[in-house]
Chain A
Amino acid sequence: MMKLSHEQARQLIHKRTMNRLGEGEETKLEQHLLGCGICRAYTAEVMALRAPLQGAFERRWPETRRSNHDLAKVLRRVESPGRVIPAPQLAMGFLAFLAIALLGLYVTLYFSAPTPEPAVADLNTPTFASQPTGETAGETAGETIAEMPPTPHITIIQHSTATSLPPLPPSPTSEADDPASPTPVLVEESVTSHATATEPAPLMGEAAIEAGGAVEGTLSEHWSNCLPDTVLATDRARGIRSYHDTDNVTVVEMQVADYLDSLNARCENKQLLYEVNRAIAFYRLARSCVGVAPPPAPTPDSYVVQDEANINQLLSQNYTVILLVCYPPPP
Protein backbone atom coordinates (compact mmCIF):
# COMPACT_ATOMS: atom_id res chain seq x y z
CA MET A 1 0.00 0.00 0.00
CA MET A 2 1.34 3.44 -0.93
CA LYS A 3 2.37 5.66 1.93
CA LEU A 4 0.57 8.93 2.45
CA SER A 5 2.35 12.26 2.49
CA HIS A 6 1.51 14.69 5.30
CA GLU A 7 -0.50 16.74 2.83
CA GLN A 8 -2.52 13.75 1.71
CA ALA A 9 -3.04 12.74 5.32
CA ARG A 10 -4.31 16.23 6.17
CA GLN A 11 -6.81 16.04 3.35
CA LEU A 12 -8.11 12.77 4.72
CA ILE A 13 -8.24 14.23 8.21
CA HIS A 14 -10.43 17.07 6.89
CA LYS A 15 -12.69 14.59 5.12
CA ARG A 16 -12.86 12.44 8.21
CA THR A 17 -14.33 15.28 10.26
CA MET A 18 -17.32 15.13 7.92
CA ASN A 19 -17.52 11.35 7.98
CA ARG A 20 -16.69 11.29 4.32
CA LEU A 21 -13.85 8.77 4.33
CA GLY A 22 -14.14 5.57 2.37
CA GLU A 23 -13.05 2.32 3.97
CA GLY A 24 -9.74 2.24 2.12
CA GLU A 25 -9.02 5.84 2.97
CA GLU A 26 -9.75 5.24 6.64
CA THR A 27 -7.25 2.36 6.73
CA LYS A 28 -4.61 4.39 4.92
CA LEU A 29 -5.04 7.29 7.31
CA GLU A 30 -4.95 5.09 10.39
CA GLN A 31 -1.69 3.56 9.22
CA HIS A 32 -0.19 6.96 8.57
CA LEU A 33 -1.28 8.27 11.94
CA LEU A 34 0.28 5.33 13.72
CA GLY A 35 3.69 6.40 12.52
CA CYS A 36 3.26 10.17 12.29
CA GLY A 37 3.18 12.28 15.44
CA ILE A 38 2.71 15.52 13.50
CA CYS A 39 -0.47 14.33 11.82
CA ARG A 40 -1.73 12.79 15.07
CA ALA A 41 -1.31 16.16 16.74
CA TYR A 42 -3.08 17.87 13.85
CA THR A 43 -5.96 15.40 14.05
CA ALA A 44 -6.31 16.18 17.74
CA GLU A 45 -6.29 19.92 17.00
CA VAL A 46 -8.98 19.63 14.35
CA MET A 47 -11.16 17.45 16.53
CA ALA A 48 -10.72 19.79 19.48
CA LEU A 49 -11.69 22.82 17.40
CA ARG A 50 -14.62 21.34 15.56
CA ALA A 51 -17.30 21.28 18.26
CA PRO A 52 -16.42 24.65 19.84
CA LEU A 53 -16.35 26.34 16.43
CA GLN A 54 -19.65 24.86 15.37
CA GLY A 55 -21.17 25.79 18.72
CA ALA A 56 -19.81 29.33 18.65
CA PHE A 57 -21.01 29.91 15.08
CA GLU A 58 -24.42 28.50 15.89
CA ARG A 59 -24.79 30.74 18.94
CA ARG A 60 -23.66 33.82 17.09
CA TRP A 61 -25.54 33.19 13.87
CA PRO A 62 -28.46 30.89 14.66
CA GLU A 63 -30.17 29.39 11.66
CA THR A 64 -32.97 31.60 10.42
CA ARG A 65 -36.45 30.62 9.34
CA ARG A 66 -38.46 32.75 6.93
CA SER A 67 -42.20 33.02 6.86
CA ASN A 68 -44.04 32.67 3.58
CA HIS A 69 -44.98 36.31 3.88
CA ASP A 70 -41.30 37.32 4.09
CA LEU A 71 -40.39 35.12 1.17
CA ALA A 72 -43.22 36.52 -0.92
CA LYS A 73 -41.89 40.02 -0.29
CA VAL A 74 -38.39 38.96 -1.27
CA LEU A 75 -39.72 37.30 -4.38
CA ARG A 76 -41.55 40.44 -5.44
CA ARG A 77 -38.37 42.43 -5.00
CA VAL A 78 -36.26 39.87 -6.84
CA GLU A 79 -38.63 39.73 -9.76
CA SER A 80 -39.09 43.46 -10.07
CA PRO A 81 -36.93 44.50 -13.01
CA GLY A 82 -34.20 47.01 -12.32
CA ARG A 83 -35.13 47.51 -8.65
CA VAL A 84 -37.72 50.18 -9.44
CA ILE A 85 -37.96 52.63 -6.59
CA PRO A 86 -41.58 53.57 -5.78
CA ALA A 87 -42.45 57.20 -6.46
CA PRO A 88 -43.06 58.22 -2.82
CA GLN A 89 -39.74 56.65 -1.88
CA LEU A 90 -38.06 58.50 -4.74
CA ALA A 91 -39.56 61.78 -3.55
CA MET A 92 -38.41 61.08 -0.01
CA GLY A 93 -34.97 60.26 -1.34
CA PHE A 94 -34.82 63.56 -3.20
CA LEU A 95 -35.92 65.48 -0.11
CA ALA A 96 -33.35 63.66 1.99
CA PHE A 97 -30.65 64.49 -0.55
CA LEU A 98 -31.70 68.13 -0.53
CA ALA A 99 -31.64 68.24 3.25
CA ILE A 100 -28.18 66.66 3.38
CA ALA A 101 -26.87 69.05 0.75
CA LEU A 102 -28.18 72.05 2.70
CA LEU A 103 -26.76 70.70 5.93
CA GLY A 104 -23.41 70.10 4.23
CA LEU A 105 -23.40 73.66 2.92
CA TYR A 106 -24.19 75.00 6.37
CA VAL A 107 -21.47 72.94 8.03
CA THR A 108 -18.92 73.94 5.37
CA LEU A 109 -19.71 77.61 5.82
CA TYR A 110 -19.65 77.24 9.59
CA PHE A 111 -16.22 75.63 9.64
CA SER A 112 -14.68 77.79 6.96
CA ALA A 113 -15.67 81.03 8.67
CA PRO A 114 -12.84 82.55 10.77
CA THR A 115 -13.57 82.14 14.47
CA PRO A 116 -12.87 84.90 16.95
CA GLU A 117 -10.58 82.63 18.98
CA PRO A 118 -8.99 80.11 16.66
CA ALA A 119 -8.04 76.98 18.57
CA VAL A 120 -4.58 76.66 17.14
CA ALA A 121 -3.55 80.23 17.64
CA ASP A 122 -4.86 80.22 21.19
CA LEU A 123 -3.29 76.98 22.09
CA ASN A 124 -0.02 77.84 20.53
CA THR A 125 0.05 74.28 19.44
CA PRO A 126 2.25 72.89 16.73
CA THR A 127 0.38 71.24 13.93
CA PHE A 128 1.66 69.44 10.91
CA ALA A 129 0.54 66.91 8.39
CA SER A 130 1.92 63.85 6.78
CA GLN A 131 0.98 61.81 3.79
CA PRO A 132 -0.71 58.53 4.65
CA THR A 133 2.14 56.43 3.38
CA GLY A 134 2.97 54.62 6.57
CA GLU A 135 5.47 57.15 7.80
CA THR A 136 5.13 58.05 11.43
CA ALA A 137 3.23 61.08 12.50
CA GLY A 138 5.13 64.27 12.65
CA GLU A 139 7.35 64.00 9.62
CA THR A 140 5.84 66.41 7.13
CA ALA A 141 4.21 69.77 7.05
CA GLY A 142 0.57 70.52 6.66
CA GLU A 143 -2.51 72.22 7.93
CA THR A 144 -4.20 73.15 11.17
CA ILE A 145 -7.31 72.09 12.92
CA ALA A 146 -8.94 75.36 11.95
CA GLU A 147 -8.60 74.35 8.32
CA MET A 148 -9.93 70.85 8.66
CA PRO A 149 -12.78 69.86 6.45
CA PRO A 150 -15.76 69.15 8.66
CA THR A 151 -16.42 65.59 7.63
CA PRO A 152 -14.44 63.14 9.70
CA HIS A 153 -15.86 59.65 9.51
CA ILE A 154 -14.96 58.03 12.80
CA THR A 155 -13.29 59.33 15.89
CA ILE A 156 -11.18 57.17 18.05
CA ILE A 157 -9.28 58.52 20.95
CA GLN A 158 -6.35 56.59 22.25
CA HIS A 159 -4.08 57.05 25.17
CA SER A 160 -0.43 56.60 24.71
CA THR A 161 2.71 57.25 26.62
CA ALA A 162 4.65 60.42 26.14
CA THR A 163 7.89 58.56 26.10
CA SER A 164 6.90 56.20 23.36
CA LEU A 165 5.60 58.62 20.78
CA PRO A 166 7.72 59.93 17.96
CA PRO A 167 9.07 63.43 18.48
CA LEU A 168 6.86 66.37 17.67
CA PRO A 169 7.97 69.62 16.12
CA PRO A 170 9.12 72.33 18.49
CA SER A 171 6.76 74.94 19.89
CA PRO A 172 5.33 77.26 17.28
CA THR A 173 6.76 80.63 16.56
CA SER A 174 5.18 83.86 17.56
CA GLU A 175 3.04 84.12 14.41
CA ALA A 176 0.63 81.65 15.83
CA ASP A 177 0.27 83.74 18.95
CA ASP A 178 -0.15 86.96 17.12
CA PRO A 179 -3.76 88.05 17.52
CA ALA A 180 -3.38 90.09 14.39
CA SER A 181 -2.68 87.04 12.32
CA PRO A 182 -4.98 84.29 13.48
CA THR A 183 -5.84 83.21 9.97
CA PRO A 184 -5.18 79.66 8.96
CA VAL A 185 -2.78 80.78 6.27
CA LEU A 186 -0.43 82.42 8.72
CA VAL A 187 -0.59 79.51 11.06
CA GLU A 188 0.11 77.16 8.25
CA GLU A 189 3.14 79.16 7.24
CA SER A 190 4.53 79.06 10.73
CA VAL A 191 3.91 75.38 11.01
CA THR A 192 5.56 74.70 7.72
CA SER A 193 8.65 76.41 8.96
CA HIS A 194 8.73 74.08 11.98
CA ALA A 195 8.35 71.03 9.90
CA THR A 196 11.25 71.95 7.70
CA ALA A 197 13.55 72.15 10.70
CA THR A 198 16.15 69.47 10.35
CA GLU A 199 15.74 67.90 13.75
CA PRO A 200 12.60 68.90 15.61
CA ALA A 201 12.95 68.76 19.35
CA PRO A 202 10.48 66.52 21.13
CA LEU A 203 7.65 68.30 22.87
CA MET A 204 7.19 66.39 26.07
CA GLY A 205 6.12 66.64 29.66
CA GLU A 206 5.70 70.06 31.18
CA ALA A 207 6.87 71.80 28.03
CA ALA A 208 3.90 70.42 26.21
CA ILE A 209 1.52 71.62 28.88
CA GLU A 210 3.01 75.04 28.92
CA ALA A 211 2.61 75.21 25.19
CA GLY A 212 -1.07 74.57 25.70
CA GLY A 213 -1.72 77.76 27.63
CA ALA A 214 -3.31 78.37 30.99
CA VAL A 215 -6.94 78.16 29.94
CA GLU A 216 -6.70 74.66 28.57
CA GLY A 217 -8.48 71.78 30.15
CA THR A 218 -11.50 73.75 31.25
CA LEU A 219 -14.48 71.51 31.78
CA SER A 220 -17.27 72.29 29.43
CA GLU A 221 -20.87 71.81 30.49
CA HIS A 222 -21.54 70.39 27.04
CA TRP A 223 -19.46 67.27 27.51
CA SER A 224 -18.00 67.18 31.02
CA ASN A 225 -20.64 64.80 32.36
CA CYS A 226 -19.69 62.23 29.77
CA LEU A 227 -15.95 62.37 30.23
CA PRO A 228 -14.86 58.97 31.54
CA ASP A 229 -13.30 58.93 35.00
CA THR A 230 -10.06 57.68 33.53
CA VAL A 231 -9.68 60.64 31.22
CA LEU A 232 -8.79 64.10 32.44
CA ALA A 233 -9.73 67.26 30.63
CA THR A 234 -6.09 68.28 31.02
CA ASP A 235 -4.69 65.17 29.34
CA ARG A 236 -2.76 65.90 26.22
CA ALA A 237 -4.44 64.70 23.07
CA ARG A 238 -2.70 64.19 19.81
CA GLY A 239 -5.16 64.08 17.01
CA ILE A 240 -4.56 62.67 13.59
CA ARG A 241 -7.20 63.25 10.99
CA SER A 242 -7.70 62.34 7.40
CA TYR A 243 -10.55 63.12 5.12
CA HIS A 244 -12.14 61.45 2.19
CA ASP A 245 -11.71 64.44 -0.06
CA THR A 246 -8.03 65.07 0.51
CA ASP A 247 -4.80 63.14 0.75
CA ASN A 248 -3.66 65.23 3.66
CA VAL A 249 -3.39 63.88 7.15
CA THR A 250 -3.41 66.44 9.90
CA VAL A 251 -1.84 66.08 13.30
CA VAL A 252 -2.72 68.46 16.07
CA GLU A 253 -1.89 68.45 19.71
CA MET A 254 -3.86 70.02 22.50
CA GLN A 255 -5.61 69.14 25.71
CA VAL A 256 -8.58 66.83 25.75
CA ALA A 257 -10.89 69.65 26.78
CA ASP A 258 -9.89 71.75 23.81
CA TYR A 259 -10.08 68.85 21.46
CA LEU A 260 -13.58 68.05 22.57
CA ASP A 261 -14.48 71.71 22.24
CA SER A 262 -13.04 71.79 18.76
CA LEU A 263 -15.25 68.87 17.84
CA ASN A 264 -18.22 70.61 19.43
CA ALA A 265 -18.58 67.46 21.51
CA ARG A 266 -21.72 67.08 23.55
CA CYS A 267 -23.10 64.74 26.16
CA GLU A 268 -26.29 62.97 25.20
CA ASN A 269 -27.78 60.08 27.11
CA LYS A 270 -24.46 59.60 28.87
CA GLN A 271 -22.71 59.30 25.53
CA LEU A 272 -20.03 61.59 24.24
CA LEU A 273 -21.02 62.59 20.73
CA TYR A 274 -20.05 65.01 18.03
CA GLU A 275 -21.55 65.99 14.71
CA VAL A 276 -24.63 63.94 13.95
CA ASN A 277 -24.43 61.23 16.58
CA ARG A 278 -20.84 60.28 16.00
CA ALA A 279 -19.62 58.69 19.17
CA ILE A 280 -16.26 59.47 20.67
CA ALA A 281 -14.47 56.53 22.22
CA PHE A 282 -11.40 56.66 24.39
CA TYR A 283 -8.71 54.07 24.00
CA ARG A 284 -5.64 53.81 26.10
CA LEU A 285 -2.39 52.31 25.00
CA ALA A 286 -0.79 52.28 28.39
CA ARG A 287 -2.21 51.54 31.76
CA SER A 288 -2.61 54.33 34.27
CA CYS A 289 -1.03 56.90 32.05
CA VAL A 290 -3.63 59.39 33.25
CA GLY A 291 -2.63 60.82 36.57
CA VAL A 292 -0.29 63.11 38.41
CA ALA A 293 2.88 61.22 37.69
CA PRO A 294 3.48 59.40 34.45
CA PRO A 295 4.41 55.77 35.02
CA PRO A 296 7.09 54.19 32.87
CA ALA A 297 5.95 52.91 29.53
CA PRO A 298 4.89 49.28 29.89
CA THR A 299 6.00 48.32 26.42
CA PRO A 300 8.92 48.98 24.15
CA ASP A 301 8.73 52.26 22.30
CA SER A 302 8.92 50.49 19.02
CA TYR A 303 5.52 48.99 19.49
CA VAL A 304 3.71 52.28 19.72
CA VAL A 305 5.75 53.76 16.92
CA GLN A 306 4.85 50.80 14.78
CA ASP A 307 1.27 51.19 15.81
CA GLU A 308 1.26 54.81 14.79
CA ALA A 309 2.60 53.77 11.43
CA ASN A 310 -0.32 51.38 11.11
CA ILE A 311 -2.75 54.05 12.11
CA ASN A 312 -1.25 56.42 9.58
CA GLN A 313 -1.78 53.82 6.94
CA LEU A 314 -5.35 53.47 8.04
CA LEU A 315 -5.83 57.17 7.85
CA SER A 316 -5.72 56.94 4.11
CA GLN A 317 -9.01 55.12 4.51
CA ASN A 318 -10.97 58.07 5.86
CA TYR A 319 -10.68 57.77 9.60
CA THR A 320 -10.13 60.21 12.34
CA VAL A 321 -7.86 58.99 15.05
CA ILE A 322 -7.07 60.98 18.13
CA LEU A 323 -4.25 59.76 20.28
CA LEU A 324 -4.20 60.94 23.83
CA VAL A 325 -0.68 61.58 24.92
CA CYS A 326 -0.24 61.00 28.59
CA TYR A 327 1.75 63.95 29.65
CA PRO A 328 1.38 64.65 33.34
CA PRO A 329 -1.17 67.34 34.13
CA PRO A 330 0.20 70.57 35.55
CA PRO A 331 0.80 70.51 39.32
Chain B
Amino acid sequence: MHHTEQFQKLRQTNHAEAIEFLVVTYYAKVFDLARAMLDDAEEAEDVAQETFMAANRQLAKFRGESSPKTWLFAIATNLSRSRLRKRYAYHRLQQTLQSIQAVFGRQSSPSMEEAVMDNQLDAQLWAAVDTLSDNHRLTIILRYRQGLPIAEIAKIMEVKEGTVHSRLYYAHRQLKACLLTAEEDE
Protein backbone atom coordinates (compact mmCIF):
# COMPACT_ATOMS: atom_id res chain seq x y z
CA MET B 1 0.00 0.00 0.00
CA HIS B 2 1.26 3.47 -0.84
CA HIS B 3 2.46 5.54 2.11
CA THR B 4 -0.18 8.21 1.61
CA GLU B 5 -3.05 5.76 1.57
CA GLN B 6 -1.66 3.88 4.52
CA PHE B 7 -1.36 7.10 6.48
CA GLN B 8 -4.87 8.25 5.56
CA LYS B 9 -6.29 5.00 6.76
CA LEU B 10 -4.42 5.14 10.05
CA ARG B 11 -5.28 8.79 10.54
CA GLN B 12 -8.98 8.01 10.45
CA THR B 13 -8.75 5.05 12.78
CA ASN B 14 -5.93 5.55 15.23
CA HIS B 15 -4.25 8.87 15.97
CA ALA B 16 -1.30 7.38 17.87
CA GLU B 17 -0.52 4.85 15.18
CA ALA B 18 -0.77 7.52 12.50
CA ILE B 19 1.84 9.63 14.30
CA GLU B 20 4.05 6.61 14.83
CA PHE B 21 3.77 5.86 11.14
CA LEU B 22 4.81 9.42 10.29
CA VAL B 23 7.79 9.33 12.63
CA VAL B 24 9.01 5.94 11.45
CA THR B 25 8.54 6.74 7.77
CA TYR B 26 9.56 10.38 7.54
CA TYR B 27 11.61 11.42 10.56
CA ALA B 28 14.99 10.87 8.88
CA LYS B 29 13.81 12.66 5.74
CA VAL B 30 12.50 15.63 7.68
CA PHE B 31 15.75 15.78 9.64
CA ASP B 32 17.74 15.69 6.40
CA LEU B 33 15.70 18.56 4.98
CA ALA B 34 16.09 20.66 8.12
CA ARG B 35 19.81 19.95 8.24
CA ALA B 36 20.19 20.99 4.62
CA MET B 37 18.32 24.20 5.30
CA LEU B 38 20.04 25.06 8.56
CA ASP B 39 23.39 23.34 8.02
CA ASP B 40 23.37 22.44 11.68
CA ALA B 41 22.61 18.94 12.90
CA GLU B 42 21.57 19.95 16.42
CA GLU B 43 19.16 22.59 15.24
CA ALA B 44 17.87 20.19 12.61
CA GLU B 45 17.11 17.64 15.30
CA ASP B 46 15.08 20.27 17.17
CA VAL B 47 13.24 21.27 14.04
CA ALA B 48 12.51 17.66 13.14
CA GLN B 49 11.02 17.01 16.58
CA GLU B 50 9.04 20.24 16.52
CA THR B 51 7.73 19.26 13.09
CA PHE B 52 6.29 16.03 14.39
CA MET B 53 4.94 17.71 17.50
CA ALA B 54 3.15 20.18 15.25
CA ALA B 55 1.92 17.32 13.10
CA ASN B 56 0.66 15.57 16.23
CA ARG B 57 -1.29 18.67 17.22
CA GLN B 58 -2.63 19.39 13.75
CA LEU B 59 -3.35 15.89 12.58
CA ALA B 60 -7.09 16.44 12.69
CA LYS B 61 -6.71 19.47 10.43
CA PHE B 62 -4.75 17.60 7.77
CA ARG B 63 -7.05 17.52 4.78
CA GLY B 64 -5.09 15.04 2.75
CA GLU B 65 -4.74 17.37 -0.23
CA SER B 66 -1.04 16.68 -0.35
CA SER B 67 1.05 13.71 0.64
CA PRO B 68 2.04 13.43 4.30
CA LYS B 69 5.64 13.94 3.22
CA THR B 70 4.81 17.25 1.54
CA TRP B 71 2.81 18.29 4.58
CA LEU B 72 5.65 17.48 6.96
CA PHE B 73 8.21 19.12 4.68
CA ALA B 74 6.08 22.27 4.60
CA ILE B 75 5.97 22.37 8.41
CA ALA B 76 9.71 21.68 8.66
CA THR B 77 10.42 24.34 6.05
CA ASN B 78 8.43 26.95 7.95
CA LEU B 79 10.11 26.04 11.23
CA SER B 80 13.55 26.12 9.63
CA ARG B 81 12.85 29.44 7.97
CA SER B 82 11.80 30.85 11.28
CA ARG B 83 15.13 29.76 12.74
CA LEU B 84 16.95 31.13 9.73
CA ARG B 85 15.32 34.50 10.31
CA LYS B 86 16.63 34.45 13.86
CA ARG B 87 20.06 33.63 12.56
CA TYR B 88 19.78 36.30 9.88
CA ALA B 89 22.17 38.69 11.54
CA TYR B 90 24.79 36.01 11.91
CA HIS B 91 24.46 35.08 8.27
CA ARG B 92 24.78 38.68 7.20
CA LEU B 93 27.97 39.02 9.14
CA GLN B 94 29.36 35.83 7.69
CA GLN B 95 28.43 36.87 4.21
CA THR B 96 30.09 40.21 4.68
CA LEU B 97 33.24 38.54 5.87
CA GLN B 98 33.11 36.02 3.06
CA SER B 99 32.69 38.79 0.53
CA ILE B 100 35.61 40.60 2.07
CA GLN B 101 37.70 37.46 1.85
CA ALA B 102 36.55 36.82 -1.69
CA VAL B 103 37.44 40.32 -2.80
CA PHE B 104 40.85 40.19 -1.25
CA GLY B 105 41.47 36.57 -2.14
CA ARG B 106 42.34 35.66 1.42
CA GLN B 107 41.70 32.45 3.21
CA SER B 108 40.01 32.43 6.55
CA SER B 109 41.14 30.17 9.34
CA PRO B 110 40.04 26.56 8.87
CA SER B 111 36.41 26.15 9.78
CA MET B 112 34.12 23.20 10.12
CA GLU B 113 32.57 24.25 6.89
CA GLU B 114 35.86 24.03 5.08
CA ALA B 115 36.77 20.79 6.78
CA VAL B 116 33.93 18.95 5.10
CA MET B 117 34.67 20.28 1.68
CA ASP B 118 35.97 17.43 -0.36
CA ASN B 119 37.58 19.34 -3.13
CA GLN B 120 37.93 22.67 -4.74
CA LEU B 121 34.82 22.31 -6.84
CA ASP B 122 32.81 21.69 -3.70
CA ALA B 123 34.36 24.78 -2.16
CA GLN B 124 33.46 26.84 -5.19
CA LEU B 125 29.98 25.41 -5.24
CA TRP B 126 29.43 26.21 -1.58
CA ALA B 127 30.71 29.71 -2.06
CA ALA B 128 28.24 30.07 -4.92
CA VAL B 129 25.35 28.52 -2.97
CA ASP B 130 26.10 30.88 -0.09
CA THR B 131 25.50 33.85 -2.36
CA LEU B 132 21.91 32.75 -2.98
CA SER B 133 19.07 34.24 -1.00
CA ASP B 134 17.25 31.96 1.43
CA ASN B 135 14.40 31.40 -1.02
CA HIS B 136 16.67 30.53 -3.91
CA ARG B 137 18.91 28.34 -1.77
CA LEU B 138 15.92 26.49 -0.39
CA THR B 139 14.56 25.90 -3.89
CA ILE B 140 17.90 24.48 -4.98
CA ILE B 141 18.11 22.27 -1.88
CA LEU B 142 14.60 20.93 -2.32
CA ARG B 143 15.29 20.29 -5.97
CA TYR B 144 18.78 18.81 -5.85
CA ARG B 145 19.17 17.51 -2.30
CA GLN B 146 15.66 16.24 -1.76
CA GLY B 147 14.99 15.51 -5.45
CA LEU B 148 11.48 16.91 -5.28
CA PRO B 149 9.39 17.74 -8.34
CA ILE B 150 8.41 21.34 -9.00
CA ALA B 151 4.79 20.85 -7.93
CA GLU B 152 5.83 19.53 -4.54
CA ILE B 153 8.39 22.28 -4.02
CA ALA B 154 5.63 24.79 -4.79
CA LYS B 155 3.37 23.26 -2.15
CA ILE B 156 6.12 23.16 0.45
CA MET B 157 7.15 26.72 -0.18
CA GLU B 158 3.54 27.83 -0.55
CA VAL B 159 4.14 29.53 -3.88
CA LYS B 160 2.98 28.97 -7.45
CA GLU B 161 4.84 26.53 -9.66
CA GLY B 162 5.82 29.42 -11.92
CA THR B 163 7.56 31.04 -8.97
CA VAL B 164 9.54 27.86 -8.35
CA HIS B 165 10.61 27.80 -12.00
CA SER B 166 11.63 31.41 -11.87
CA ARG B 167 13.58 30.89 -8.62
CA LEU B 168 15.30 27.87 -10.12
CA TYR B 169 16.17 29.87 -13.20
CA TYR B 170 17.58 32.73 -11.18
CA ALA B 171 19.50 30.40 -8.87
CA HIS B 172 21.00 28.47 -11.79
CA ARG B 173 22.14 31.66 -13.45
CA GLN B 174 23.64 33.02 -10.27
CA LEU B 175 25.42 29.77 -9.47
CA LYS B 176 26.81 29.62 -12.97
CA ALA B 177 27.98 33.23 -12.81
CA CYS B 178 29.67 32.67 -9.44
CA LEU B 179 31.43 29.54 -10.66
CA LEU B 180 32.61 31.34 -13.78
CA THR B 181 34.01 34.16 -11.69
CA ALA B 182 35.78 31.66 -9.44
CA GLU B 183 37.31 29.95 -12.47
CA GLU B 184 38.48 33.25 -13.90
CA ASP B 185 40.08 34.19 -10.59
CA GLU B 186 42.23 31.08 -10.58
Residues of chain A touching chain B, judged by Cβ–Cβ distance below 8 Å, are 7, 10-11, 14-15, 18, 20, 42, 45-46, 48-50, 52-54, 56-61, 63-66, 71, 74-75, 77-79, 83, 154, 156, 158, 281, 283-287, 298-299, 303, 307, 310-311, 313-314, 317-319
Contact B49–A77 (Cβ < 8 Å): yes
A45 to B103, CA, bound (A): 25
> Quick one: given A46-B172, A65-B28, A78-B49, are A298 and B89 in contact (CB under 8 Å)?
no
Q: Does B159 contact A (CB under 8 A)?
A: no
Determine if B28 and A64 form an interchain contact, defined as CB atoms under 8 angstroms apart.
yes
Q: How many A-B residue pairs have CB under 8 A?
A: 131
CB contacts (< 8 Å) of A10 on chain B: these are 165, 169
Q: Are B28 and A78 in contact (CB under 8 A)?
A: no
User: Is A285 a contact partner of B100 (Cβ separation < 8 A)?
Assistant: yes
Cβ A64 vs Cβ B116 within 8 A: no
Give the residue of B35, B90, B101, B165 whose beta carbon is less than 8 angstroms from that of A11.
Answer: B165
Q: What interface size band does chain B fall in?
A: 35 or more
Contact of B176 among A49, A285, A287, A307 (CB under 8 A): A49
When A and B form their complex, which 4 residue pairs have the shortest distance between CB atoms, in order from nearest?
A317-B89, A57-B145, A78-B52, A53-B144
Asked if A50 meets B144 with Cβ closer than 8 Å, knowing A56-B125, A156-B93, A318-B89, the reply is yes
* B residues neighboring A (CB under 8 Å): 16, 19-20, 23-24, 27-28, 31-32, 35-36, 39, 48-49, 52-53, 55-56, 88-90, 92-93, 96-97, 100-101, 103-104, 106, 108-109, 116, 118, 121-122, 125-126, 140-141, 144-145, 147, 149-150, 161-162, 165, 168-169, 172-173, 175-176
In the complex, the answer to whether B165 meets A83 with C-beta atoms within 8 Å is no
- Alpha-carbon separation in the docked complex, A75 to B25 (Å): 12
Residues of the B chain whose Cβ atoms lie less than 8 Å from the Cβ of A313:
92
